[in-house]
C-alpha cells in the first residue's frame, strides 16, 4: 500500500467536505484501520475502499468521482431519494433552534407532534409511540415492553419469545435472541430465551410474484411451539411481515392472519418488526395495512426519517399503554423504566416530520404502487439468467437467490455486488441473495438500467 501518512494531512483535506474526495492516491492502511467497520469484511474493504462522498436523489458520488445508482435506497432508508431539500431545511432549522432537550422528565413539542402523526399513518388501534434511536433499539424496547406488560398483568411467567428462522431484529441481545440468521448469532453465545418458527421460503414458491400461494400451514407451527412451551411461558411472537435482511422472504397468503389468530387465542402479544417494511416499501404506510393484519406492537425505524437522522419507534395498542399507566404507582414515579438519551431527539423528530410530510403531500403510496408492476416485470425478466435460483418481490423490494459456489454460499452474491459497484450500481448482497429496494422516486428507465446491468453482471461471472 501507499506510504502517505494521513496523520500529517490537514483536517480539511481529510474531511470529506467536497463532493469529490481529493485523495486520488490510495488511503493508508493505518488511517483506514482506526475505523472498525460494522457488518463489513474490514480486510477486504481496506484493501480496496468503496468510499461514498456525496449523494443526490438516486445517485451516490464515489471518492473517485463516479456516479453510482442506488439500488437499495441507502440501507432501505432513503425511499424519497438522497439529500431531500425539505428534510435538510427542517434539520438545519431544528439544529439551530433546539439541538437537544433532555428526553427523561422533560420534552419538546416535536416529539408529541410526531407521535400523533405516526398514530395517524399507522393502522387503527396503534395509539401510543415510544421513541428509540434505531431498529435494534426498537426490537429490544418491544421485547422489554411485552415482558413488563405481562408482569403488570400478574402473569410474570410469560417471558419467552418466539421469532422466526431468517428473521432479523437488529444486533442487541434481545433482537439477537429472536433473530434467525445463524451467521449473526453464532459469535455471541447465550442471551434471552427464544424459540423459532420456520421461515417461509419454499421451493414450491420459487419465482412467485407478490405474496406466494403455498405455505399457510407453516403458521400452525406456532400451535406446536405453544404446546411445547405452554402459553403461560410465552410473552410475544415477533415477526417481520416480510423478512428483509434474510432475503426478502414473503409471507404466504393467509399466513400472517393465521399467526394473528393463534396469538389472540392464546394471549400472546404479536409484534411486527416493520423497520424495513414501514413507510412505503410495501406500497402502504405499513405492511400491516398492506397485508390487513394489525399487531399489538409495531417497530419502525429507517424510512421514518428517510435515513437522514437515526431514529426508531415502537407503537402499541391502548391496552398496553394503559396497563403501564394504571400500575404505575404514585404519579411522580415512572411507569416504564426504559428509555434512551436520544429517544425523540429533536433533530430526528424534525427530519421525520419532514419526511412523512413528503410521503403524504406527494401521494407517495400511489406513486409506489404505480411503479411496483414495472419493477416486478423488470426483476422477473432475470429469470433464466446464469446463477439465478429464485426471484421474489413485493412493492419495491426484491430478493434473488443465487446459486452458490460449492461450500461458499455468500461468495457469489459478493462477487456480483462488487462487479456491479465497479459499473456504477449499488445493490445489497447478504447470505446467498442479492437484494434490491429502489428509491420510490426511481424512474422506469433507471430501474431498467439497474436490472440490465445485474443481468449482464450475473451472466459474466
Ligand atoms: N429489524 C429489522 C427488520 C431490520 O431490517 C433492524 C431491526 C435493526 O435496525 P438498526 O437500525 O439497528 O440497524 C433492521 C435493520 C440490509 C440491512 O442491507 C438491513 C438492516 C440493517 C442493515 C443493513 O439489508 N436492517
Ligand atoms: N452507558 C452509560 C455510562 C450511560 O451514562 C448511558 C446513558 O446515560 C448509557 C450507557 C446509555 O446511553 P443511551 O441512552 O444513549 O442508550
What CA–CA distances, in Å, run from 423 to 5, 53, 66, 401, 444? 30, 17, 9, 21, 19
**168 CB within 6 A, ligand 1:** yes
Whether the predicted pLDDT of 7 surpasses 50:
no
Across the chain, what does the average pLDDT equal?
94
Q: Which residue has the cell 422466526?
A: 164
Tens digit of each residue's pLDDT (9 = 90 or more) over 182-233: 989 999 988 899 999 999 999 999 999 999 999 999 999 999 999 999 999 9
The predicted pLDDT at position 14 comes to 37
Whether the predicted pLDDT of 102 surpasses 60:
yes
Whether the predicted pLDDT of 3 surpasses 50:
no
Full set of structural domains in the chain with CATH: 17-83+364-460 (3.90.1150.10), 88-361 (3.40.640.10)
**164 CB within 6 A, ligand 1:** no
* Over residues 122-140, mean pLDDT: 98
Report residue 26's pLDDT band, with 50, 70 and 90 as the boundaries.
confident
The predicted pLDDT at position 15 comes to 38
Mutate to test the pocket of ligand 2, among 137, 170, 341, 345 (most ligand atoms within 8 A of CB): 341
* Over residues 172-176, mean pLDDT: 98
CA of 169 to the centre of ligand 1 (A): 7
Tens digit of each residue's pLDDT (9 = 90 or more) over 14-23: 334 444 455 4
CA of 60 to the centre of ligand 1 (A): 20
**135 CB within 6 A, ligand 1:** yes
Query: Are the beta carbons of 83 and 343 closer than 8 angstroms?
Result: no
Report residue 5's pLDDT band, with 50, 70 and 90 as the boundaries.
very low
**77 CB within 6 A, ligand 1:** no
The predicted pLDDT at position 22 comes to 53
User: HSE (CB half, 13 Å, CA atoms) of 241?
Assistant: 32
Whether the predicted pLDDT of 179 surpasses 50:
yes
* Over residues 380-388, mean pLDDT: 98
Whether the predicted pLDDT of 63 surpasses 60:
yes
What does the CA dihedral 451, 452, 454, 455 come to, rounded to 10 degrees? 120
Query: Are the beta carbons of 80 and 359 closer than 8 angstroms?
Result: yes
| Atom nearest to 339 CA in ligand 2 | 14
Tens digit of each residue's pLDDT (9 = 90 or more) over 424-455: 999 999 999 999 999 999 999 999 999 999 99
Nearest CA to 66 out of 74, 54, 77, 75 is that of 54
**Which bound ligand lies closest to the C-alpha atom of 181?**
1
CA of 170 to the centre of ligand 1 (A): 6
Bridge partners for 197 per DSSP: 164
Amino acid at each position: 500500500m501507499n506510504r502517505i501518512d494521513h496523520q500529517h494531512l490537514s483536517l480539511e483535506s481529510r474531511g470529506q467536505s467536497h463532493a469529490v474526495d481529493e485523495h486520488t492516491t490510495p488511503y493508508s492502511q493505518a488511517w483506514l484501520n482506526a475505523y472498525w467497520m460494522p457488518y463489513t469484511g474490514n480486510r477486504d474493504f481496506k484493501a480496496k475502499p468503496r468510499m461514498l462522498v456525496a449523494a443526490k436523489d438516486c445517485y451516490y458520488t464515489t471518492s473517485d468521482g463516479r456516479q453510482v445508482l442506488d439500488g437499495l435506497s441507502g440501507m432501505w432508508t432513503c425511499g424519497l431519494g438522497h439529500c431531500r431539500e425539505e428534510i435538510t431545511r427542517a434539520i438545519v432549522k431544528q439544529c439551530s433552534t433546539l439541538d437537544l432537550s433532555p428526553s427523561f422528565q422533560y420534552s419538546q413539542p416535536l416529539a408529541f407532534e410526531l407521535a400523533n402523526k405516526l398514530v395517524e399513518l399507522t393502522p387503527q388501534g396503534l395509539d401510543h409511540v415510544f421513541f428509540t434511536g434505531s431498529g435494534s433499539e426498537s426490537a429490544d424496547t418491544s421485547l422489554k415492553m411485552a415482558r413488563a406488560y405481562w408482569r403488570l398483568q400478574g402473569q410474570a411467567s410469560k417471558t419467552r419469545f418466539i421469532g422466526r428462522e431468517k428473521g432479523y431484529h437488529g444486533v442487541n441481545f434481545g433482537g439477537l435472541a429472536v433473530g434467525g440468521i445463524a451467521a449473526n448469532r453464532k459469535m455471541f453465545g447465550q442471551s434471552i430465551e427464544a424459540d423459532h418458527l420456520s421461515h417461509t421460503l419454499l421451493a414450491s414458491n420459487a419465482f412467485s410474484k407478490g405474496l406466494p400461494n403455498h405455505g399457510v400451514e407453516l403458521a400452525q407451527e406456532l400451535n406446536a411451539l405453544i404446546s411445547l412451551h405452554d402459553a403461560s411461558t410465552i410473552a410475544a411472537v415477533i415477526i417481520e411481515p416480510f423478512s428483509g435482511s434474510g432475503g426478502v422472504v414473503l409471507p404466504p397468503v393467509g399466513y400472517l392472519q393465521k399467526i394473528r389468530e393463534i396469538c389472540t387465542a392464546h394471549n400472546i402479544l404479536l409484534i411486527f418488526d416493520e423497520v424495513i417494511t414501514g413507510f412505503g416499501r410495501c406500497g402502504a404506510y405499513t405492511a400491516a395495512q398492506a397485508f390487513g393484519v394489525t399487531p399489538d406492537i409495531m417497530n419502525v425505524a429507517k424510512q421514518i426519517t428517510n435515513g437522514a437522522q437515526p431514529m426508531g419507534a415502537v407503537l402499541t395498542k391502548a391496552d398496553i399503554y394503559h396497563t403501564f399507566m394504571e400500575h404505575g404507582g404514585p404519579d411522580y414515579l415512572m411507569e416504564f423504566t426504559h428509555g434512551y438519551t436520544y429517544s425523540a431527539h429533536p433533530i430526528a423528530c424534525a427530519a421525520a416530520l419532514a419526511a412523512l410530510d413528503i410521503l403524504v403531500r406527494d401521494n407517495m403510496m400511489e406513486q409506489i404502487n404505480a411503479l411496483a408492476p414495472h419493477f416486478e416485470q423488470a426483476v422477473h425478466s432475470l429469470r433464466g439468467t446464469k446463477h439465478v435460483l429464485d426471484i421474489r418481490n413485493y412493492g419495491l423490494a426484491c430478493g434473488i437467490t443465487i446459486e452458490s459456489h460449492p461450500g461458499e454460499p455468500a461468495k457469489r452474491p459478493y462477487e456480483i455486488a462488487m462487479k456491479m459497484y465497479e459499473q456504477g450500481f449499488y445493490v445489497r448482497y447478504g447470505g446467498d441473495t442479492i437484494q434490491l429496494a429502489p428509491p420510490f422516486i426511481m424512474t422506469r428507465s433507471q430501474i431498467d438500467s439497474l436490472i440490465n446491468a445485474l443481468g449482464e453482471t450475473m451472466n459474466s461471472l
